[in-house]
Amino acid sequence: MQKEMSQSTSFIKEYDESYNIEKTAKRVVKPLISVVLATKGNKEKLLERCISSLQKQTFQEFEIILVYSIFPKGLSSLLDNCNIFTLKENSSTLGAARNLGVKRSKGELIVFIDDDAEAPENWLSKIYSTFQRYPSLMCLGGPNLTPSDDCEKNPIRFAQGSFVESRIGKKLCLDKSAVAKIAGCNVAYRRMIFEKIGYLNESFRSGEDWEFHIRLVENGYHLRFDPEILVWHHRQGLKHAFWNMSKMVPFFLSWKTLKYSKYESFFASFYLTNFLFLILLITIFFSPLVFALLLILSLLSHFIFTAIITKTYSWRIVYYPLQIIVTLAQIMGFYYGLIQRVVSKFHH
């Protein structure tokens, strides 16, 4: 395999704006898989771990395309020694960066992974074999689990990760029921699907992966969420929860997202949580006592619900009130983004 790989490479020159020099990158001529890795360039340690996990893959017929906003200078020696093709993308959206990677890729399968995720050694092997087994499959994804080290060091990330993972579940899901379970940090597509239904929505600052999956289903194509196709995902805490939800306003204001909430529990829980939040806000003006009682009931219910669905029956259950803080950060982020959207429309 290694001999074949060495014979199937060519040298491609690329002009790197961050260094203002001409770089030479070694690239696989006919890879079976193209891994598109988009980064802002501000998570160098996590990005290094991600790249290292890709280098250890048992499946070798693939290329890595790194699309960056700011070149990770601290990793220049690592990138020089790897078969990584680098591209600069000036747009502020993840969708635009991934689209650029797709357009410049050569593989028949396109795989996305985030710069704060790590893949097991058999990740690409499982992806390739699954697509071989199901010729009509167009989209394949799996869970993104929180590393145990992160859980032990940071209670917030433990609570956040456990809740997200419990909503994703460990069961095989197909088509409509897989739309939101498959996330952009761990997903693979057949190249032809981009030619058939278009690329990711570059106007979305977040949620472009789920919007793409809805389009896939509406056009009659098959999705598969497989619990065996997993990656390890380093959660980014409260700040990320706030800002990420603020970027998802256009997605959750879409009628299509609301329609698919009857198939996806994540969408349904978002609308339900925000409905309850608005009820609480209204009651505080009419009866502070009713507000206090509803608030206590809501917090207690949230705590019990989280503990049950995550099946946590150990001392770590004391961490779950922290999930309430995460939920509040997401709610505040959404309304912050909504206010920003309304103000910007008035200015225009």
Last residue of a domain, one of 189, 205, 235: 235
Q: Rounded to 5 degrees, what are φ and ψ at 19? A: -105, -15
Calculate mean pLDDT across residues 123-146: 96
Domain range enclosing 272: 236-348
* Same domain for 181 and 32: yes
Q: What pLDDT shows up at residue 314?
A: 58
* Same domain for 199 and 336: no
* Same domain for 262 and 280: yes
For residue 77 the two structure tokens come to: 């020696």
Per-residue burial over 47-77, b if 16 or more Cβ lie within 10 Å, else e, is bbbbbebbeebebebbbbbbbbbebbeebee
Helix 288-309 to helix 321-347 angle (10° resolution) is: 110
What band does 296 get if pLDDT is binned at 50, 70 and 90?
confident
**Percent of the chain having pLDDT more than 70?**
83
pLDDT for 326 beyond 90: no
* Same domain for 169 and 50: yes
* Same domain for 223 and 248: no
Last residue of a domain, one of 235, 257, 292: 235
C-alpha distances (whole Å) from 168 to each of 36, 38, 271 are 23, 23, 17
Range with the poorest average pLDDT among 6-15, 30-39, 186-195, 196-205: 6-15
Q: How many domains is the chain built from?
A: 2
* Same domain for 240 and 191: no
Give the Cα-Cα-Cα angle 209, 214, 218 (nearest 5 degrees): 150
* Same domain for 348 and 205: no
Range with the poorest average pLDDT among 102-106, 204-208, 343-347: 343-347
* Same domain for 346 and 201: no
Q: What pLDDT shows up at residue 7?
A: 32
pLDDT digit string, tens, across residues 34-55: 999 999 888 899 999 999 999 9
pLDDT digit string, tens, across residues 214-263: 999 999 999 999 999 999 999 888 888 899 999 999 999 999 999 999 88
* Same domain for 296 and 197: no
Give the Cα-Cα-Cα angle 125, 126, 129 (nearest 5 degrees): 85
pLDDT digit string, tens, across residues 142-177: 999 888 787 667 777 776 776 666 666 678 999 999
What band does 324 get if pLDDT is binned at 50, 70 and 90?
confident
For residue 60 the two structure tokens come to: 């070798």
* Same domain for 211 and 65: yes
What band does 294 get if pLDDT is binned at 50, 70 and 90?
confident
* Same domain for 223 and 249: no
Identify which of 201, 180, 54, 63 has the alpha carbon closest to the alpha carbon of residue 118.
54
C-alpha distances (whole Å) from 4 to each of 8, 25, 152 are 6, 18, 43
pTM for the whole structure:
0.84
Q: What pLDDT shows up at residue 115?
A: 94
Q: Rounded to 5 degrees, what are φ and ψ at 246? A: -65, -25
For tokens 């999930």, name the residue.
Answer: 323
Give 185-229 as a DSSP string.
TEEEEETHHHHHH----TT-SS-HHHHHHHHHHHTT-EEEE-TTS
By the 8 A CB rule, do 324 and 238 touch? no
Last residue of a domain, one of 235, 253, 268: 235
